[in-house]
Amino acid sequence: MNAFSEDLLNKILDAPVGKVITVLSEILDCDIKLEVIEQNTVSPNQFVRKVSITAQELPVIKADVKFDSTVLPKLIMTELLKKKQGVGEILNANNINATRNVLSLNRIPDENRASREYEIIHDGIIWFTIFEEIRLDNLGSYNNS
């Protein structure tokens, strides 16, 4: 991983819950989009959501988000079921303070990517478990420094 990639990765990893898109937008000064690719029910109360974050239409983060409808407030579930916003956007829009508990982080320098798994916790309760792959190879052309 080059110095730019390592610096960018650290900024992404350090971004507060719900601020990754903002951080990417500020660093890269380009169009960043989050798209909910699909969302499925895997059991009566368990859901899995696949999300893609792109920079100038290139995928930079792909994430699988798992959540349980029995632990989330109705308002949050309603927004999630609309499949229009990312988890962080929904939490921020509803002024919900959450923390991230990183379960694993793997840097793969040869492939210029990283992956991490983490939990988003509110009031001591795990609301979401997220596994994401960060593709830094697609960000190299946006080095404005």
Predicted confidence band of residue 144 (pLDDT cuts 50, 70, 90): very low
Q: Which domain holds residue 133?
A: 3-140
Structure tokens at 6: 């390592």
Q: What would the pLDDT profile of 97-136 be if each residue is shown by its tens digit?
A: 999 999 999 998 888 889 999 999 999 999 999 999 999 8
In a domain, 24, yes or no: yes
- CA pair distance 57, 134, nearest whole angstrom: 15
CB of 51 within 8 A of CB of 59?
Answer: no
Question: What's residue 143's pLDDT?
Answer: 46
Domain count, the chain: 1
Find the CATH number of the domain harbouring 14.
3.40.1410.10
Helix ranges (DSSP H) in 1-145: 3-14, 20-28, 74-82, 87-93
In a domain, 30, yes or no: yes
The model carries a pTM of 0.89
DSSP-based three-state secondary structure for 120: strand
In a domain, 112, yes or no: yes
